[in-house]
Structure formats: structure tokens, C-alpha cells
Chains A and B, each alone.
Chain A
Amino acid sequence: MMSDVAQNQFNIKEYIRQDLFPHFMCPGCGHGIALRALLNAVHDLDIDKNKLAVVSGIGCSGRVGAYIDANTFHTTHGRPLAFATGLKLARPDLEVIVITGDGDCLAIGGNHMIHACRRNLNLTCLMLNNEVYGMTGGQVSPTTSMDRFTTTTQYGNYEPVFDACKLAEGAGAGFIGREMTLQTPALRDLIKEAISHQGFSFVEVLSDCTEVFGRKNDLGESAEMVLAQKAGYRSDSYGTVVDEPFKPRGMQTGVLLRTERPEYAATYQQHNAEKLKQ
């Protein structure tokens, strides 16, 4: 009996490419925690590694995909959702998971993001939001909170932020959730729900960049950074505007939306089969 339990226990070593270690992440970086939560979810759902395809963009977030012992695709900046769309349409038998960053997904990849939500193809997208362009040395991103110092906001940030989950909702994503790296079990469970959902699932992971963001802003340890992000600091960026979506408040976490919108590939097959019969 004991051995049964032991066998089913999550052992991260079974899911990572250990020969690539030591890894590139800085001490305190939240991206590794997100990776662990994802792999734990993959384990719990009993997904065959051979059928798992992880498609990532460019950034520190994009780099974590390489550590997964699966079919991994490190694509171009902002475009992982476009690649994943082609891959999933060609190979519906694969479980396709996209890992992207706040810059990758919302700036250069914003167009692909909204259309991936709109199509509602059965993909799972994890956006690791650390409020900054980590890889390139800490430049401002579309999710950087007001007044934060980055290498390209030398006097503090003055641009309004993006709420990725609101964007996903407006564009039609089938499943939307948000969780902090701080709550790893909750994050794991949220990712499990996202993967299980038939349709486009978007998960915003509140992650942190200790090295080129936290230190600059005196934000303390990684846990404090993530809490500051969640506390809704960034909502202030809309100033006195009090339209409902922008009211200053803490960010909600957990499952934010679940719909039964028709899934893209199934609709494509069914629709054309019917029309061609006529």
C-alpha cells in the first residue's frame, strides 16, 4: 500500500531534464515555482510526457520550457500562441501548453493573445507575470505598476497597466484564472482545471523578478513582491478613473471565468463535415 502512494507521489525529477542543471534562474525568481506547479499538475492529470508539447516564447519565462522533459518548442518573441495554434490544429492528440511572459504575451504578442482567446482552440496558456522584461535587463512592461522604477522608466512608470484577465475575458477565452506563485498548491490546482477545460484556458501567474525588478524598487523578498503585485498597487495607474474594471482593489485570484463556448477545432471539423455533406 505504501508503495502505491509513493509511486503516485509527484517527483519533479521525473519531469525535468536534469542534465541541463544548473538552471539559469536567479535566486528568488518566481518562474521556477510556476514551472514546478505546472509539472505537478501534469503529474496529477497523468499526462503522458511523450504527448505533452510545451511551446514558449522569448524571455526568462520562455526559457523555463526547456527544462521540461517533453516535446519543447522555444519559439520567437511574442509568437508562441501562433505556433501552438498550428501545432494543435495539426496534432489534436498532443496536450499543448504555452508558457509566455507579460511582455511576450501582452506587448509583442498581444494580437495573437486576443485571437487565441477568440478562437477558443483547446490550448492552455500560462502567462508568467513579473511586471517587467526580465530577460533583457528590467525594462518597463505593459503590466509594470505605476511609479515603479525600471531601466526604461528612470523616473518611475507613468503608463497605465494591462489587466490580462480582463483582456482574455473581453476576447472570449473559455477559461480564465489567476494565482500567485506564493500559493503553489492553489496554483497547481488552477493549472489542472485550466488543462482539463476544453477550450482556450488562460492562467495569469503572479510571479516575480527579484533580480532586475525587485531590487531596484526595494520590494523585499520574492513573497513580498508578489503580494505587492496582488494588492492591486497597479490599479492606481488609472488615477481617478473609476469605471468598474479599473476600480482600485486587490486582484482576485482563483478561477475567474469558465464558459462552455464551442471549442475551435471541434467546431471546424463538425461545421465543414456538415456543409460538405449538403
Chain B
Amino acid sequence: MSANQNLQNLQGNHACALAAIRAGCRLYAGYPITPSSEIAESMSAELPKVGGVFVQMEDEIASMGAVIGASAGGVKAMTATSGPGFSLKQENLGYAALTEIPCVIVNVMRGGPSTGMPTRPAQGDIMQARWGTHGDHPTLVLAPWSVEEVYAETIRAFNLAELLRTPVIILFDETIGHLVETVDLTHFLDLEITDRKWADSKTKGFKPYADPGDGIPVMARPGDGHRVHTTGLTHGENGFPTQDAELVAQFMSRLLGKIEKHRDEVEHIDVRHCDDADVVIVAYGITARAAHRAVGMLREQGVRAGLFRPLTLWPFPEAAFKAATGHADLVLVPEMNAGQLILEVERLVSEKTRVAGVNIFFGDPITPQQIVEKAEVELNDE
């Protein structure tokens, strides 16, 4: 029997590192933290082989800074962290969003708040990923549910970062980070890799933040002669600070609008059995695997259940969600937190639909049985 080279047993964290390199990442800057450290460890082994740079920085703030610096220089870059480290990255993450410097940030979620439960899975950073840095800013967050999907979504994260000139956050949790599964790399053989658009004109007066029409300015590569200014101060098309209300309004609407404009490319969902579903379970990451099983168990009991799984958590795929839950009586939202994505679900469901959470975040993943039990309680209540 000839071994298939393309079938590999990979740990989630390891898959993330390999996918990043596949996507063109050539600089990794990070600071060790459980349960994400294996990403750094893999990068330390792999990057030198492809002429890339691995650097362990003095903290997460520095890691985020170095990643942005590298990407500003034209090299795709990534950092990975968990809980406390994700908090430390927030200020510079906002800088990347405002200056529109592409980069990828992985947060392998663990129990929180504070040091919390470092070796236990959780999904407590859903809202932090959306709102963690101060001020209104575009946010793009992806949430894979398997090792193979970690691989796929990591590549997609780089592609979206490059396409939209924005930081992209990948959220998974301790379970997926440490899970070992078989990944079939043949699925990724013809994968397209996106690179940001570089300005080719060397003319003076190049406007680094002018809107070419799609909301995404063309980037100037240092050394190519544009000599532009990059600042975290609110700036005009020329890149220099401004407080002119009209220019600020123009800038902010482009910045916030560019993701909206590209929802088709950004949104990725997995919808199963929702066509006739009276009960829709909305779940993401590892919890969605339990939810998927729960859907099967409920169907066996004669309950018409379905699964709505957003791989893109932010921006939340609103239209697809509404279509999938349009005729549902009950929407269940299991999450390993006290109730975060459920707030978005409650905002979007139709009036006749009841919403209930399954909020178990005490260190173990949510089981299919726990979801089924909650569904039964809710259905008996009716």
C-alpha cells in the first residue's frame, strides 16, 4: 500500500503554522502562551527552511508591533496567542485596522477572565474579538471547527487580510488547537493565494489612502519611491493627520464600509438541515461539532432540527442567518461562554422565534447531550 503523502496527521496548532507558510507568511513574531505555543514552536522550525524569520518577542505588544512592521515592509506576517496575550495585542491591532496594514492574529481561546484556566477550552473572546480595541473599526473574525478547517481558514485569513488590507483574527480553542486529525492536503493543491495590490507609480503626490473604487487603497512598498507617511492618527487620503470633519467622515465610512462591500468574499457559512427546521442550532468552533451531533439526535427523536454554523463570526452573516432561521420556532445557541454570540442572534431573529442559550464554560467542551437536553426543556415549555 502506498502511503498518501497528502494525508497528514496534524495537530490544530501545527496545521495553523503550516497553512500560514503555505499562504506566504514569512515572518512570525510571538510570545509563548498556553494553549497556542505550538504555533510558535512550529513556526520556529519551519520558517528558517523557507527563508522566513521567526522571532520570539519580549511580550505580546511587541509581537503585534513587529508583525505590523514586517507587513508594512511588504512581508506577510502572523502572531498567535491566547487569553491574556490577546488582551495585550488590542492597541496595536487597532493600529493595523486604522492604518490598513494586513496581518493575521490567532487566538486559541482558553478559560478566562484573567489567567483563568490556561489548559481548558473556552469561547469567551467572541465579543473581545469584535470590540477589543477602542473606537469603531472594521473586524474580520474566522472560527474553524476542525484541524483541516484550521488549515483552510488560516489560508483564507491571509487572503482576506491581503485583499481587504485589514487585520484578520482566527479564533479557535484549546480543544481544536491540541486535537490531532487527518488533513487531506490534496484539498489545497490548487488553492489560490491572494497578494495585496502594490502601487507601481513612483510619481510624487501618490495618495496612499485614496479609494480606487472598491474601498481598498493600493499600498506603497517602502523603497519603491513613494515615501508615504503611515500614522495611527486619523488621516486623509494623503496619509497625513486630519481633524477636518468632512475628511474624517469620508475616511471612516470607507474604512468601515470596505468589509461590508466585500461580504460575498468574506462570509463563509455551513448550513445543514435548516430548510424545514423548527429548531436551529447556531454554533461555531468545537461547539458546532457537538451541535451537529445534537441535530442528528434530535432528528432521530422526530424533531426537525438544523445547524447554522458561521465560519465567519464577524461580520456576522446576517442575511444567511435570517434565511436559515426564518421559519424556526426555536434557535439554540450553545457557547462556551456566558452568552456572547447569542446577543447578535437575538438582535437578528424574527419576533416569533424564541432564542435560548446553552452556556457551559467550566472547562470542558459542551456535549451533544447537553444541547439535546436544553432543546427538550425548551420544546416542552411551549
Which residues of A does B touch, CB under 8 Å? Answer: 17, 20, 49-51, 53, 55, 66, 69-76, 79, 81-91, 93-94, 111-112, 114-115, 268, 272, 276
Select one of B55, B58, B231, B233 contacting A112, CB under 8 A.
B58
Please tell me if the beta carbons of B231 and A268 are within 8 angstroms of each other in the complex: no
Select one of B62, B71, B225, B230 contacting A85, CB under 8 A.
B62
B248 is an interface residue with CB less than 8 A from chain A: no
B91 is an interface residue with CB less than 8 A from chain A: yes
Distance, CA A50 to CA B224, complexed state (A): 7
Distance, CA A54 to CA B382, complexed state (A): 65
Please tell me if the beta carbons of B73 and A50 are within 8 angstroms of each other in the complex: no
B92 is an interface residue with CB less than 8 A from chain A: yes
Known A-B contacts A82-B69, A87-B73, A90-B73; A75 and B232 likewise in contact (beta carbons under 8 Å): yes
- Smallest beta-carbon distance B75→chain A, Å: 4
Which residues of B does A touch, CB under 8 Å? Answer: 26-27, 29, 48-49, 53, 55, 57-59, 61-75, 77, 91-92, 95, 222-233, 240-241
B interface SS class: mixed
Known A-B contacts A50-B224, A66-B240, A111-B62; A272 and B48 likewise in contact (beta carbons under 8 Å): yes
Known A-B contacts A86-B77, A111-B58; A79 and B227 likewise in contact (beta carbons under 8 Å): no
Distance, CA A111 to CA B59, complexed state (A): 8
Sampled A-B contacts (16; CB under 8 Å): A70-B227, A75-B232, A76-B91, A79-B92, A82-B69, A83-B68, A85-B57, A86-B27, A86-B70, A87-B73, A90-B53, A90-B71, A90-B74, A93-B223, A94-B73, A111-B58
Select one of B59, B65, B229 contacting A83, CB under 8 A.
B65
- Smallest beta-carbon distance B53→chain A, Å: 5
Q: Which among B57, B74, B91 has the highest number of chain A CB atoms within 10 Å? A: B57
- Smallest beta-carbon distance A122→chain B, Å: 14
Please tell me if the beta carbons of A83 and B57 are within 8 angstroms of each other in the complex: no
Please tell me if the beta carbons of B62 and A94 are within 8 angstroms of each other in the complex: no
Chain B's closest residue to A54 (CB) is B229
B233 neighbours in A (Cβ, 8 Å)? 74
Select one of A20, A66, A276 contacting B48, CB under 8 A.
A276
Please tell me if the beta carbons of A71 and B68 are within 8 angstroms of each other in the complex: no
- Total contacts A to B, CB within 8 angstroms? 128
Distance, CA A114 to CA B49, complexed state (A): 29
Distance, CA A19 to CA B68, complexed state (A): 28
- Smallest beta-carbon distance A230→chain B, Å: 31
Distance, CA A84 to CA B73, complexed state (A): 10
Distance, CA A75 to CA B92, complexed state (A): 9
Distance, CA A114 to CA B62, complexed state (A): 12
B29 neighbours in A (Cβ, 8 Å)? 85-86
Distance, CA A245 to CA B71, complexed state (A): 41
Distance, CA A22 to CA B75, complexed state (A): 35
Please tell me if the beta carbons of B58 and A75 are within 8 angstroms of each other in the complex: no
A112 neighbours in B (Cβ, 8 Å)? 58, 61-62, 65
Given A53-B222, A73-B231, A82-B57: 14 more A-B contacts, CB < 8 Å: A73-B69, A73-B72, A73-B230, A76-B95, A79-B62, A81-B62, A85-B66, A87-B70, A91-B75, A91-B222, A94-B73, A94-B223, A114-B58, A276-B49
Q: Which among B59, B71, B223 has the highest number of chain A CB atoms within 10 Å? A: B223
A79 neighbours in B (Cβ, 8 Å)? 61-62, 65, 92
Distance, CA A114 to CA B58, complexed state (A): 9
